[in-house]
Structure 1
């Protein structure tokens, strides 16, 4: 599982440092993709392939649009010797990333957020909402 919260900057070339703790679990190369929310998701190749296999098993009418959306907005990335990945401009623009970036572990994936967007998203969660969600899960 991936967890933690890390502040880093995107450089002028679109490179972002991915913390070693996350890189170790994501693998030598991994997938950067737009999946949900206004962030970039990082998946290990095994996790990404498993997700695509699930989508491929859906009826054509449901799966084809989802498959097209996911695969057309995904890129293979490999960290350089300094632990940085090069993020394509279209992914950076989608997530609203210019300089500051928040990299978080989110279970089976990591996410890269504009810190302001992430903070706004987190403000929508109240302790009452969280309590209800945990209760629904049996905690």
Structure 2
């Protein structure tokens, strides 16, 4: 089971390739076969799932009620953006142009571990997102985790 953590900033080359940090690659299971599925995330970021984690998500998606409009929309949006990508010899993935445009990623990418997936952000967009939150990190931690 993947357990991605940490944050890194990497350059994005003119072909849309970005390196996946070694500290994150070490959490890839052999079942992922150095393959990921990248798709539209939430809050203007991209979600990068190792193939084995994506397969678990697909199983959950198949269990959704196709007669529920919210379920249909989620499946449609998530899957219409989804692309399988494989690490190249330099441990990079190629991010499709439409996903780069969606996430407003140009020259740099902020790569964040998010347990079973990796999130890829434009660093400036991420900072704006964090700074625009109505509640502090501390108050959210207390509410969600019961930490004081």
Q: CA deviation at 1:42?
A: 0.8
- The two structures have a TM-score, normalised by structure 2, of 0.85
Instruction: Report the equivalent of 2:40.
Output: 34
Instruction: Report the equivalent of 1:124.
Output: 132
Q: Unaligned regions of 5+ residues in structure 1, if any?
A: none
- The two structures have a TM-score, normalised by structure 1, of 0.90
CA distance in 1 between counterparts of 2:124 and 2:21 reads 20
Question: How do residues 54-133 of structure 1 correspond to structure 2 at under 5 angstroms?
Answer: 54-62=60-68, 63-125=71-133, 129-133=136-140
- Between structures 1 and 2, the one with greater helix share: 1
Q: Is the aligned partner of 1:17 residue 2:19? A: yes
> Deviation digits for residues 87-132 of structure 1, max 9, x if unmatched?
1100100000111111111122111110100111111347x63233
Where 1:37 maps in the other structure, the secondary structure is coil
Q: Kindly tell me the number of residue pairs found equivalent between the two proteins.
A: 138
CA distance in 1 between counterparts of 2:66 and 2:54 reads 19
Structure 1 contact 55–67 (Cα < 8 Å) conserved:
yes
Q: Unaligned regions of 5+ residues in structure 2, if any?
A: none
Q: CA deviation at 1:18?
A: 0.9
Across the aligned residues of Structure 1 and Structure 2, the Cα RMSD in angstroms comes to: 1.6
Instruction: Report the equivalent of 1:135.
Output: 142
CA distance in 1 between counterparts of 2:91 and 2:114 reads 19
